[in-house]
Amino acid sequence: MYKFVIVALLTLLPWSTRAALPDFQPIVESAAPAVVKILVEANAQAQPMPGADELEELPEYLRRFFEFRGQAPQQRQRQNTGSGFIISEDGYIVTNHHVVEGATSVTVRLLDRREFEAEIVGTDVRSDLALLKIESDDLSVLKIAEDGVAVGEWVLAIGSPFGLDFSVTAGIVSAKGRSLPTEAGENYVPFIQTDVAINPGNSGGPLFDLQGEVVGVNSQIFTRSGGSIGLSFAIPAAVVNNVVMQLKASGEVTRGWLGVSIQDVDLDLAESFGLDRPSGALIAQVGADSPAQEAGLQSGDIILEFDGQMINTSSDLPHVVGLIAPGSEVEAVVRRDGQNQTLQVVVGGLDADERPSVAGRMPGADDNDAIFGMVLEAADDDMMAELGLSGGVLVLEVAPDSPAAAAGIVGGDVVTRLGSSAVQSLEDFTGAVARLQPGQSVAIRLIRRGAPLFLAIRVPQAEQ
């Protein structure tokens, strides 16, 4: 009923309004010959052959069966399908890493039904991209865009969902710069979010703008049913261009690396650092001998800009740093002690098989004072050595309805910094507290379960 009403209303629109809607047919006609279906064979996980001890415990008929075979079961072949697209006349093809992962053979099928065996030139798990190569001439190619898309723009996808060859779907860009969980754990991809219908089999296919250029590679969907619900995600063209260039050159990808542990800035932290709104990436820890340490970045700095790019949330920083060529010198604008400073940073490199981390182990009396509602004591030397610290103050208890409880501090936390003051002893902490003003919001750095964490704590108002 509703669909009938919508169609009826559309027919009442002026012709000029209907004519303004995009016509995707020219894009499909010119681009479809360069979109490919990818057929993958890979080894399924086989069950291991029982060992000698396990054989002894089996019933006689099963033991004779395995002894007769004399070897582990043969691995079965599983088949996957995906999509991709040709980017050069000499046969280079872009697709997703997860489409060809573990492949024993890859076949590429064109729109005209020609098929080619493909070589895997290289893959990159962090971006979920792969580069293939086929030997052929007379190939149609697609151009990867240099510029990005804006939220609200029309986009078009071509792929093979559920094995249905060369299907076309369209929609708009819903959001940009999305950070999503990845297999590698760390996210270097600012995904484009669209409402284009994407389903299994679309993976690796192109996302087009209205100029017919590839603005992204379809990679993921969010779904509870297994089908599209209007939340699909594509790898943006800037990442695709960077990864393809490196895979062509060396078969692997190296990324920019800074060597910091970061967290978001919430409203209370923003106030405590003198910002008018939450923004930037707050450095919780700087790795020893890291590019960040060499540049003079410190724990408690908030990175507001990096290489000319605004850092609105902590997830923006890996997106920017990862695309910078190792060895490049760039500017970083940081908030420190209530003032903005500009530092020169020489970005390091993170090889394809390296895990990004800060160097070394990642960290996180007088019982009667109960400062901010906390019962504190000096942390013992063994604890500090285990955490890789030279000093700190241990939180034993936190009183309910206290400033510390409101800030999220819990027993077992180790305080290492209050405001701009390092805390290595109870005297350091009480001295830093004495310099605070009533009602002030101040950042406090903790080590919690081995990991660094900043919180904002409010200094109680003086009693009248």
The number of domains in the chain is: 4
Same domain for 46 and 114? yes
Question: What share of the chain has pLDDT > 70, as a percent?
Answer: 81
Could you identify the residue written with the tokens 């700087």?
286
Same domain for 243 and 270? no
Catalytic residue among 203, 261, 279, 290: 203
Q: Which pTM value belongs to this model? A: 0.70
- CA–CA dist 441, 402 (Å, integer): 14
Position 36 in a domain: yes
Look at residues 189, 222, 250 and tell me which one is the last residue of a structural domain: 250
Catalytic residue among 83, 127, 128, 261: 128
Same domain for 227 and 264? no
pLDDT of 187 reads 76
Q: What angle do CA 462, 429, 402 make, to 5 degrees?
A: 45
CATH number at residue 428: 2.30.42.10
Average pLDDT over all residues of the chain: 83
Confidence of residue 3 (pLDDT cuts 50, 70, 90): very low
Same domain for 298 and 388? no
Position 335 in a domain: yes
How many Cβ atoms sit within 10 Å of the Cβ of residue 53? 7
Mean pLDDT of 4-11: 49
Could you identify the residue written with the tokens 């060895």?
327
Same domain for 70 and 113? yes
Position 330 in a domain: yes
One-character DSSP codes across 236-261: EHHHHHHHHHHHHHHSS--EEE--EE
Same domain for 129 and 166? no
pLDDT in tens, 149-176: 999 999 999 999 988 889 999 999 999 9
SS3 66: helix
**Is residue 128 flagged as an active site residue?**
yes
Paired tokens of 389: 């610290």
**Is residue 337 flagged as an active site residue?**
no
Range of the domain at 323: 256-350
Position 361 in a domain: no
**Is residue 272 flagged as an active site residue?**
no
Position 141 in a domain: no
Same domain for 128 and 37? yes
Position 464 in a domain: no
Look at residues 298, 315, 350 and tell me which one is the last residue of a structural domain: 350
Same domain for 395 and 421? yes
Mean pLDDT of 118-147: 94
Cβ 413 vs Cβ 455: under 8 Å: no
Strands (E), 47-166: 77-86, 92-95, 103-109, 115-117, 119-124, 129-133, 154-159
Paired tokens of 322: 């990862």
Query: CA dist 262 to 65, 317, 318, 357, 451, Å?
Result: 57, 9, 10, 11, 11
Same domain for 326 and 282? yes
Whether the pLDDT of residue 335 is over 60: the answer is: yes
Same domain for 239 and 268? no
Whether the pLDDT of residue 362 is over 80: the answer is: no
Q: Where is pLDDT greater, at 56 or 419? A: 419
Q: Where is pLDDT greater, at 8 or 319? A: 319
Same domain for 270 and 227? no
Position 325 in a domain: yes
pLDDT of 224 reads 66
The alpha carbon of 89 is separated from its chain's Cα centroid by a whole number of angstroms, namely 32
CATH number at residue 180: 2.40.10.10
Look at residues 250, 270, 301 and tell me which one is the last residue of a structural domain: 250
Position 35 in a domain: yes
Same domain for 191 and 112? no
Question: What share of the chain has pLDDT > 90, as a percent?
Answer: 48
